[in-house]
Amino acid sequence: MGIGHTQEQNMLKDMVAPFLAENAPVKHMRNLRDADDKIGFSRGLWKQFAELGLTGILIPETEGGLGLGHVEAGIVLEQIGRNLTPSPFLATAVAGAQALKNASAEMRGNWYPKIVSGDAIIGLAIDESSKHRPQAVELIAERMGNGFRLNGSKQFVLHGHIADLLLVSARTSGATDEEAGISLFAIARDTKGIEVQTDRLVDSQISARISFENVELNGDAVIGDIDGGWSPLQRLLNAGRIGAAAEMIGVGGGAMDITFEYLKTRKQFDHFIGEFQALQHRAAHLYGEMEGARAIVLKAQHLLDDDDSRAELFVAAAKAKAGLAANLAVREGVQMHGGVGMTDEFDIGLYMKRDRALAEFFGDINFQANRVALLNGY
Amino acid sequence: MTNLETFRTETRAWLEANCPKEMRSSSNSEQDFCWGGRKWVFTCPAQKQWLEVMAAKGWTVPDWPVAYGGGGLSSEETKILKQEMFKLGCRSPLNSFGIWMLGPALLKFGTEEQKKHYLPQIARGEIRWCQGYSEPGAGSDLVSLQTFGADMGDHWLVNGQKVWTSYADQADWIFCLVRTDKNDKYRGISFLLFDMETKGVTTKPIKLISGSSPFCETFFDDVKVPKHQIVGELNRGWDVAKYLLGHEREMISGGGLGDGLASLGAAHEGVLAQEPILRAQMAMFDIESMTFRAHSEKFLDEWKSGKAHPAYSNLMKYIGTELNKKRHELIMAVGGSDALEWESEASNQGSKPRSWLRTKANSIEGGTSEVMLNVVAKRILEMPGA
């Protein structure tokens, strides 16, 4: 078996690519931004995702989903990235749905149908500081009889202001930086004691800072084991990391394509600027970086789908490489566009903004590189 | 069990029974590889035995047809054989420009007689080949080559000079680009084969910054080459050369793989614990190295199924050679002053600095990085201009 796409996977791409290009091109994102939309994405478009089954892409067929894997989710995310489509797909249908695989049958029965129908949005309340450090959990969940009482705060929760369900990492025992003693909770956002403050981000997405003040929960709100939340959290984060990497392949690829098109049409000194070797070499180098990134993202998706023991290492490397390549694509993109690259009218700057936000999701290049070193034993 | 699973089981059993223990350790230097040929001196009996059993099975060239000394394996079977050899730590039984470069060109352009004559000799490691391409005035601009073959009826009379001829002093035969028409730059070159013992051929090793001499200057002074020793059509040698360069680039790009799958950082945990910036650089290198492995795997799948762009090996050559140079820079950095030793028992006679210097040629030989980027920009990205 190679690591290229199968015929079925190509069919998925052939469905999703024209669907998004038609219904949610960059213009769609601009319209939402310019209308100062308060939701952060189009609910109508999300319903269309549900009609195509994409909302349940990772959810098992026996539970109403498509039962597909990270390779397929990545195909959708690449197109989302390419079109800069604002969408809850990554947080809800990929990372969130994946985390719920560790949940009780009752919890899954409660949330999976709503996710599949497009009626439930998930907010991932993981980070507590400006840099991703998932083991640094200070939000406290104290035992209260059969249940828990939560106090603390989270930030960088995309769609947190309109999410129906929050997945929250909380400390039930142990010290701040320990992996043991973390528990993962599923909490309805309208639970008493939850306060949400929204921020619009550089890429026009809406993110939330959420405070938890004496939020009382039943014992059945825990996903997986009490004190053993690190395992479902890793599952969530690995899905999120490889998903964000796939979206960056789309962002970087989209930025690269419009830049190459510009090199072939813009004339200066009576020549297409793409004739100049100074730009040709940089273009060829960029292409190689994007191709490599695409390959390792595919490789990591396959390993994750196969439950391979190397998956974690490859996911970290793939998120880092996708970040490096996409960042090069948007920087070269703006530079090669020259002055117009600095204008809001041209799309290239929007790609740069989106890339900056994706770089931080689930840990940036430096975080992932450190993980690669640790997982390799140094 | 499927046929492929059966093949895997049988292959593993055969390798376990037939690969000598001495041939299952990783190789430390170029001397550990067997290059074959009339002048070859086996470093140990196991090296000879390993070559002979593999050649008898056709597995020095597993995917060539059986009729030409190959194993007749499908691409899937060839992949399995390589995987099983890797798992057991088996060395390649034979390194050879004949296998990597000339063989594929003969399979595509050679006459039936040429295939039957030359290919089995290559497969058995009997004849060692060298490549006569570059000239003092024709490096990156290879098509400007001047070595001339005058038509003398039943033979060509070849005069000129080649440079950077790998192992010319140890090779038995040469495949050589020779100008046969001075009026047409591209369609005036022919691809000739001849014995290095032919009267008029002399070689002179070039000493490199690494201290070794893997390359030679090669001189031709009234060398007679019979007419039947041409591959492809007269004056169309450039087509053969281009095809063969694709294979060479594919081969050199493999250099970035280093010694297989290991993390470079993992081998230097102690030093890296004290060197946070170097540790960070090592982590970034490990990411690039994992990326290149995944990229190579994807490329080879696409290459074999005919889906890869024909110029894609140029991209892999560029990435692989630049990566290998970076790898050796880091080996030197992590080695510190120990890695400066040029002549000493402890440092294996300076293998680290010599290898480091040797890798600087990776991005020059077989087409410079700059030429590779030109090709990628023009042929794959279809950038405008000449």
Q: What value does the mean pLDDT take over residues A86-97?
A: 98
Q: Do both A334 and A349 map to the same domain?
A: yes
pLDDT for B15 beyond 70: yes
Q: Find out if CATH 2.40.110.10 is the number for domain B129-235.
A: yes
- Bridge-based pairing of strands B173-179 and B129-132 is parallel
pLDDT for B258 beyond 80: no
Q: Do both A136 and A151 map to the same domain?
A: yes
Query: Among B268, B287, B297, whose Cβ lies nearest the Cβ of A321?
Result: B287
Q: Do both A181 and A240 map to the same domain?
A: no
The domain in which residue A53 lies consists of 7-121
Determine, for residues A292 and B291 on separate chains, whether the beta-carbon distance falls below 8 Å. Answer: yes
pLDDT band at B213 (very low <50, low <70, confident <90, very high): confident
**Residue in B with minimal Cα distance to A257:** B381
**For chain A, how many structural domains are there in total?**
3
CB A359 within 8 A of CB A323: yes
Q: Do both A190 and A274 map to the same domain?
A: no
Q: What value does the mean pLDDT take over residues A100-116?
A: 97
Query: Among B284, B381, B386, whose Cβ lies nearest the Cβ of A284?
Result: B381
Residue A268 covered by a domain: yes
Q: What value does the mean pLDDT take over residues A53-82?
A: 98
Q: Do both A47 and A130 map to the same domain?
A: no
What does pLDDT average to over chain A? 97
Q: Do both A207 and A172 map to the same domain?
A: yes
Determine, for residues A377 and B272 on separate chains, whether the beta-carbon distance falls below 8 Å. Answer: no
pLDDT digits (tens, 9 = 90+) for A267-306: 999 999 999 999 999 999 999 999 999 999 999 999 999 9
Q: Where are the domains of chain B?
A: 3-102, 129-235, 240-380
Q: What value does the mean pLDDT take over residues A237-257?
A: 98
Q: Which residues, at least 6 apart from B229, have a Cβ–Cβ distance to it below 8 Å? A: B192, B193, B194
pLDDT for B158 beyond 70: yes
Exposed/middle/buried for A119, CB within 10 Å: 0-12, 13-18, 19+?
middle
Q: Do both A117 and A144 map to the same domain?
A: no
Q: How many CA atoms lie within 13 A of B378 on its CB side?
A: 12
pLDDT digits (tens, 9 = 90+) for A35-64: 999 999 999 999 999 999 999 999 999 999
Q: How many CA atoms lie within 13 A of A172 on its CB side?
A: 22
pLDDT for A75 beyond 50: yes
Residue % of chain A over a pLDDT of 70: 99
Q: Do both A253 and A307 map to the same domain?
A: yes
Q: Do both A278 and A358 map to the same domain?
A: yes
At which of A184, A206, A227 does a domain end? A227
Characterise A223 by phi-psi region: left (phi > 0), alpha (psi -120 to 50), beta (else). Answer: beta
pLDDT digits (tens, 9 = 90+) for B168-184: 999 999 999 999 999 99
Residue A207 covered by a domain: yes
Return the top range by mean pLDDT from A73-87, B30-44, B347-361: A73-87
Which pLDDT belongs to residue B242?
86
Residue A1 covered by a domain: no
**What is the CATH number for A298?**
1.20.140.10
Q: How many CA atoms lie within 13 A of A78 on its CB side?
A: 24
- Helix (H) or strand (E) holding A211, with range, is strand A206-217
SS3 B338: helix
Residue A89 covered by a domain: yes
Which pLDDT belongs to residue B259?
44
CA–CA separation, A55 and B155 (whole Å): 73
Query: Among B268, B280, B384, whose Cβ lies nearest the Cβ of A275?
Result: B384
CB A42 within 8 A of CB A121: no
Q: Do both A278 and A175 map to the same domain?
A: no
ipTM, interface predicted TM-score of the complex: 0.95
Q: Do both A359 and A236 map to the same domain?
A: yes
Q: How many beta-carbon pairs under 8 angstroms link A with B?
A: 138
> Are B3-102 and B129-235 in the same CATH fold?
no
At which of A199, A227, A255 does a domain end? A227
Which CATH architecture describes the domain B3-102? Answer: Orthogonal Bundle (1.10)
Residue A255 covered by a domain: yes
Q: How many CA atoms lie within 13 A of A205 on its CB side?
A: 23
By residue count, chain A amounts to 378
Residue A66 covered by a domain: yes
Interface test with A, best of B289, B291, B368, B370 (most A CBs within 10 A): B291
**Least confident interval from A37-46, B143-152, B243-252, B306-315:** B243-252
The residues with which B160 forms a beta bridge, in sequence order, are B220
Task: Specify the amino acid at residue A137.
Answer: V
Which pLDDT belongs to residue B251?
64
SS3 B24: helix
Q: Do both A154 and A288 map to the same domain?
A: no
**Residue in A with minimal Cα distance to B375:** A284
**What is the CATH number for A91?**
1.10.540.10
Which CATH architecture describes the domain B240-380? Answer: Up-down Bundle (1.20)
pLDDT for B32 beyond 80: no
Determine, for residues B284 and A369 on separate chains, whether the beta-carbon distance falls below 8 Å. Answer: yes
Query: Among B268, B373, B378, whose Cβ lies nearest the Cβ of A378?
Result: B268
Query: Among B283, B292, B381, whose Cβ lies nearest the Cβ of A372?
Result: B283
Determine, for residues A369 and B280 on separate chains, whether the beta-carbon distance falls below 8 Å. Answer: yes
By residue count, chain B amounts to 386
**Residue in B with minimal Cα distance to A5:** B298
Determine, for residues A281 and B282 on separate chains, whether the beta-carbon distance falls below 8 Å. Answer: no
pLDDT for B30 beyond 80: no
Instruction: Supply B296's token pair.
Output: 């190579």
Closest residue by Cα to residue B56 from B12, B103, B94, B10: B94
**Residue in B with minimal Cα distance to A288:** B315
Distance (Å) from the alpha carbon of B374 to chain A's nearest alpha carbon: 7
pLDDT for B254 beyond 70: no
At which of A106, A121, A136 does a domain end? A121
Residue % of chain A over a pLDDT of 90: 98
Residue A2 covered by a domain: no
Longest dimension (CA), chain A: 79
Which pLDDT belongs to residue B344?
85
pLDDT band at B89 (very low <50, low <70, confident <90, very high): confident
Residue A321 covered by a domain: yes
pLDDT band at A90 (very low <50, low <70, confident <90, very high): very high
**Least confident interval from A209-213, A248-252, A367-371, B207-211:** B207-211
Determine, for residues A376 and B279 on separate chains, whether the beta-carbon distance falls below 8 Å. Answer: no
Residue that is written with structure tokens 């009218």 in the block: A345
**What is the CATH number for A154?**
2.40.110.10
Closest residue by Cα to residue A292 from A354, A346, A249, A232: A249
